[in-house]
Amino acid sequence: MKLAFSTLGVPGMPVADVVRLAAGHGYQGVELRTHPEEPVHLGLSSAERAEVVEEFRRGGVEILSLAGYVRVAAEGADEPVIDELAQLVELARDLGARYVRVFPGGGEQDPARADATAARRLGAAAPHAADHGVRVLLETHDSHRAGVDTARVVGTVGHQHIGALWDVMHTWLAGEDPVASHAVLAPHLGYVQVKDIASADDREPLALGAGVLPLGACLDTLDPDSWVCWEYEKRWHPEATELPGLLAAGREHLLRLGAPKQ
């Protein structure tokens, strides 16, 4: 199992500090929240992109993914969505990231309409992603939080550069068993996001193992070489404990859960 953490847990932290944090705590990768308020965003110049690449190269840490905020099932015109997704793919190419994360964002639409919109836009983006060696992952989230919902859209697209990102909190909130989630997502799976919370009504981030999410059951379904990313949502819960002090114990907890069962 290869471990990463998301910069959602260290909002605004400079890239060099993120790399040191990952390398110093034994994380092989980082998921970079890609947003205008973060150091990594779509407006980076070519020189700035090269600087990010060099920081990660020196630290021996991989940029696993760019966590973008494109909502592929959202109502409205296709062109702005596809254009932003293309920019994310190009940034991922320039930074050497293997994945780009997108959200469904279908809202209260008819599910069939949301599915069709998402599949159409992802299908349009797929050749560009393939040309740039990047895989676009639709996260189990919001209107498509169950694995079966995300897999339905990705399966409709049917392209190897369009896949799924399994956020274990959202499939749990959907009432889906981890084995069932993995069964439908496995053919499309890029990587897994883990976290922990106290309850469905209290989602302030906790140290891994301190909450109710079935992390062990989720990790039990994965191949040994899978990527697992800790998404600690500090950005949305500023009162939560600082992530850096939790990283060492979190790594050990995930490695224990992911160890082969005797």
pLDDT in tens, 85-123: 999 999 999 999 999 999 999 999 999 999 999 999 999
The answer, yes or no, to whether residue 262 has pLDDT greater than 80, is no
| Confidence band, pLDDT 50/70/90 cuts, at residue 261 | low
**In angstroms, rounded to a whole number, what is the distance separating the alpha carbons of residues 148 and 181?**
7
| Confidence band, pLDDT 50/70/90 cuts, at residue 219 | very high
Domains of the chain: 2-258 (3.20.20.150)
Residue given tokens 């309850």 in the structure block:
199
- For residues 83 and 42, is the Cβ–Cβ distance under 8 A? no
Predicted local distance difference test score (pLDDT) of residue 108? 93
Q: Mean pLDDT of all residues in the chain?
A: 97
Token pair belonging to 77: 């015109």
Token pair belonging to 94: 């320039």
Percent over 90 (pLDDT), the chain = 98
| Confidence band, pLDDT 50/70/90 cuts, at residue 259 | confident
pLDDT tens digits, residue range 117-176?
Answer: 999 999 999 999 999 999 999 999 999 999 999 999 999 999 999 999 999 999 999 999
**In angstroms, rounded to a whole number, what is the distance separating the alpha carbons of residues 38 and 49?**
14
- For residues 59 and 71, is the Cβ–Cβ distance under 8 A? no
